[in-house]
């Protein structure tokens, strides 16, 4: 099992190609050899000319060997230069300017709102409050559910003298953007406190015992979706009764009996499955627009009959918050039990992970890479030099990105050409595109 004490740098790899293996020592010594021979001949022709040609050779032979490995956005910039038709433009989605933001502050979880051009955060007066607003606010922050909402007396909390409030305009309950009217006071003397379902936390991740990181609990939302005794795909826990996976995982086995499926969470080693009951599945809900031809809309929800027991090693991941931007180059992580080498035919026994930086869809769809095969419901992450990637068996599993201490499910492992092939990074279902479908599906049932 991998012992990891820091969070930096690529992990052991779901699939990792050792770049150092590319015969660097031999090619380096060959280069030195050529260099010396070249210098001896050139020396006979004259010191001045020899020095000139020698330094030219030095540049020519040593430059590639000493250049650093590509990382983050640098790999994209180099690609942009060599791939015809690709411009190095930033990807900005034409989104509306954000007019309202929310946060839950302090131990009391007081709801605060930031409206339009104001920089201060306003406490929300309880007058006109209704729970539907609370559900929408929790969802917009990346949580699946609202778990508690209450009124707190202003006399029970310490306030800044300059603290201002937001009053709810009546008749605008459905409009999260418009409903907030700044005010210097709260006539009811009460403000709103909200609790959303917990997500995206790793209670054990920072606990290092005697220099050994606790591997179990590192990715508490990681699930294994099993058909009989066989691990078929990864999944991500959203709530005790809900796991998200890839639709293609389910599609391939659509004729199997529902009772043959099990979901296991809180595992690191697959050999522990035998002692583990696993949760039975109540319903399999593939996205209605899933296409087996091009893997568009490659997500499915599993509703569990037996809920998962949340603990330090089992917990939910957050969804992306509304309008949350995950920029290219962001160091996200993918995890799973898939193949660790493309020639292997078995899943890994222990859970593997690796850093997978987000890549621009514009570049990933270029003629050098996937030539337009990516739809709006897909994103790319990983490395252009093929150093690490998700592989078969990782499908359905999480691609998560940090925002402070909180982890959001940005992608679901979906497809790719081979595994860790240069210029063919992993392709993921883009979770931000499925938020409404996920909320509607989970809310209704």
At a CB cut-off of 8 Å and minimum separation 6, what does 260 contact?
227, 228
CB of 281 to ligand 4AZ, least distance (A): 20
Question: Residues in contact with ligand 4AZ, total (CB under 6 A)?
Answer: 11
Q: Among residues 391, 399, 412, 431, which is the contact residue for ligand 4AZ, using CB under 6 A?
A: 391
CB of 83 to ligand 4AZ, least distance (A): 20
Q: Is 375 in the site for ligand 4AZ (CB under 6 A)?
A: no
Q: Among residues 122, 415, 441, 442, which is the contact residue for ligand 4AZ, using CB under 6 A?
A: 415
Q: Is 333 in the site for ligand 4AZ (CB under 6 A)?
A: no
Q: Is 394 in the site for ligand 4AZ (CB under 6 A)?
A: yes
CB of 118 to ligand 4AZ, least distance (A): 45
Task: Please give the Cα distance from 34 to 93 (Å, whole number).
Answer: 51
Task: Please give the Cα distance from 124 to 180 (Å, whole number).
Answer: 8
Q: Is 426 in the site for ligand 4AZ (CB under 6 A)?
A: yes
Token pair, residue 169, equals: 């305009």
Task: Please give the Cα distance from 329 to 77 (Å, whole number).
Answer: 11
Category of 35 on φ-ψ map: left (φ > 0), alpha (ψ -120 to 50) or beta: alpha
Rounded to 5 degrees, what angle do the CA atoms 268, 280, 277 make? 45
Q: Is 369 in the site for ligand 4AZ (CB under 6 A)?
A: no
Instruction: From residue 224, give the alpha-carbon distance in Å to each of 68, 234, 292, 309.
Output: 37, 5, 22, 15
At a CB cut-off of 8 Å and minimum separation 6, what does 408 contact?
142, 200, 317, 318, 319, 320, 321, 324, 326, 400, 401, 402
CB of 336 to ligand 4AZ, least distance (A): 9
Q: Which stretch binds ligand 4AZ (CB under 6 A): 51-59, 213-221, 272-280, 411-419?
A: 411-419
Q: Is 239 in the site for ligand 4AZ (CB under 6 A)?
A: no
Toward ligand 4AZ, which CB reaches closer, 370 or 434?
A: 370
Phi, psi of 62 (to 5 degrees): -90, -25
Task: Please give the Cα distance from 81 to 163 (Å, whole number).
Answer: 52
- Of the listed 395, 408, 414, 424, which one is catalytic? 395
Toward ligand 4AZ, which CB reaches closer, 182 or 342?
A: 342
Task: Please give the Cα distance from 85 to 233 (Å, whole number).
Answer: 36
- Of the listed 126, 143, 241, 248, which one is catalytic? 248
- Of the listed 296, 298, 385, 389, which one is catalytic? 298
Angle (deg, nearest 10), helices 24-44 and 47-66: 170
Residue sitting closest to ligand 4AZ (CB): 416
Specify whether the CB–CB gap between 193 and 186 falls below 8 A: no
Return the closest-CA partner of residue 298 out of 288, 312, 284. 288
Q: Is 193 in the site for ligand 4AZ (CB under 6 A)?
A: no
Toward ligand 4AZ, which CB reaches closer, 62 or 373?
A: 373
Give yes or no: 335 in active site.
no
CB of 345 to ligand 4AZ, least distance (A): 12
Q: Which stretch binds ligand 4AZ (CB under 6 A): 26-34, 133-141, 266-274, 386-394?
A: 386-394
CB of 296 to ligand 4AZ, least distance (A): 16
Q: Among residues 115, 225, 390, 438, which is the contact residue for ligand 4AZ, using CB under 6 A?
A: 390
- DSSP assignment string, 147-184: EEEEEEEGGGS---TT--EEEEPTT-TT-TTT-EEEES
- DSSP assignment string, 406-432: EEEEEEEEEE-SSSSBTTB-EEEEEGG
Toward ligand 4AZ, which CB reaches closer, 249 or 321?
A: 249
Specify whether the CB–CB gap between 356 and 381 falls below 8 A: yes
Give yes or no: 248 in active site.
yes
Give yes or no: 344 in active site.
no
Specify whether the CB–CB gap between 243 and 314 falls below 8 A: no
CB of 261 to ligand 4AZ, least distance (A): 17
- Please give the radius of gyration of the chain, using alpha carbons only, rounded to the nearest integer: 26
Q: Which stretch binds ligand 4AZ (CB under 6 A): 129-137, 170-178, 348-356, 414-422?
A: 414-422
CB of 401 to ligand 4AZ, least distance (A): 18
Q: Is 395 in the site for ligand 4AZ (CB under 6 A)?
A: yes
Toward ligand 4AZ, which CB reaches closer, 140 or 395?
A: 395
CB of 230 to ligand 4AZ, least distance (A): 14
Q: Is 419 in the site for ligand 4AZ (CB under 6 A)?
A: yes
Catalytic residues: 248, 298, 395
Binding site for ligand 4AZ (CB under 6 A): 389-392, 394-395, 413, 415-416, 419, 426
């Amino acid at each position: 099992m991998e012992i990891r004490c820091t969070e930096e740098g690529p992990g052991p790899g779901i699939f990792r190609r050792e770049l150092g293996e590319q015969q660097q020592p031999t090619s380096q010594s060959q280069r030195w050899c050529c260099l010396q021979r070249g210098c001896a001949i050139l020396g006979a022709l004259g010191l001045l000319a020899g020095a000139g040609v020698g330094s030219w050779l030095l540049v020519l032979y040593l430059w590639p060997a000493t250049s650093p490995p590509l990382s983050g956005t640098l790999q994209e910039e180099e690609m942009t230069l060599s791939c015809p038709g690709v411009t190095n433009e930033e990807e900005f989605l034409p989104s509306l300017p954000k007019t309202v933001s929310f946060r839950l502050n302090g131990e009391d979880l007081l709801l605060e709102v930031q409206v339009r051009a104001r920089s201060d955060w306003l406490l929300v007066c309880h007058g006109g409050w209704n729970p539907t607003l609370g559900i929408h606010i929790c969802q917009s922050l990346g949580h699946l559910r609202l778990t508690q909402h209450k009124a707190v007396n202003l006399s029970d909390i310490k306030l800044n003298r300059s603290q201002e409030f937001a009053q709810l305009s009546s008749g605008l309950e459905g409009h999260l953007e418009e409903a907030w009217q700044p005010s210097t006071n709260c006539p009811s003397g009460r403000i709103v406190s909200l609790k959303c379902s917990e997500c995206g936390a790793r209670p054990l991740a920072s606990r290092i015992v005697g220099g050994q990181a606790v591997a179990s609990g590192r990715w508490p939302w990681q699930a294994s979706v099993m058909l009989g005794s066989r691990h078929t795909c990864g999944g991500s826990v959203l709530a005790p009764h809900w796991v998200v996976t890839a639709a293609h995982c389910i599609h391939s086995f659509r004729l199997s009996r529902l009772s043959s499926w099990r979901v296991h969470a809180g595992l690191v080693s697959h050999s522990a499955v035998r002692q583990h009951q696993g949760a039975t599945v109540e319903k399999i809900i593939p996205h209605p627009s899933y296409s087996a031809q091009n893997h568009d809309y490659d997500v499915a929800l599993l509703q569990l009959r037996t809920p998962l027991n949340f603990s330090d090693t089992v917990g939910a991941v957050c969804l992306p918050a509304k309008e949350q931007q995950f920029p290219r180059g962001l160091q996200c992580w993918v995890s799973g039990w898939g193949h660790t080498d493309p020639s292997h035919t078995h899943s890994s026994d222990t859970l593997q992970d690796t850093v997978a930086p987000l890549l621009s869809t514009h570049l990933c769809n270029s003629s050098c890479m996937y030539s337009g095969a990516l739809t709006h419901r897909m994103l790319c992450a990983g490395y252009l030099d093929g150093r690490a990637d998700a592989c078969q068996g990782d499908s359905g599993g999480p691609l998560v990105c940090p925002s402070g201490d909180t982890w959001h499910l940005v992608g679901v492992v979906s497809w790719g050409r081979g595994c860790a092939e240069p210029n063919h990074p992993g392709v993921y279902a883009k979770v931000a595109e499925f938020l409404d479908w996920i909320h509607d599906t989970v809310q209704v049932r």
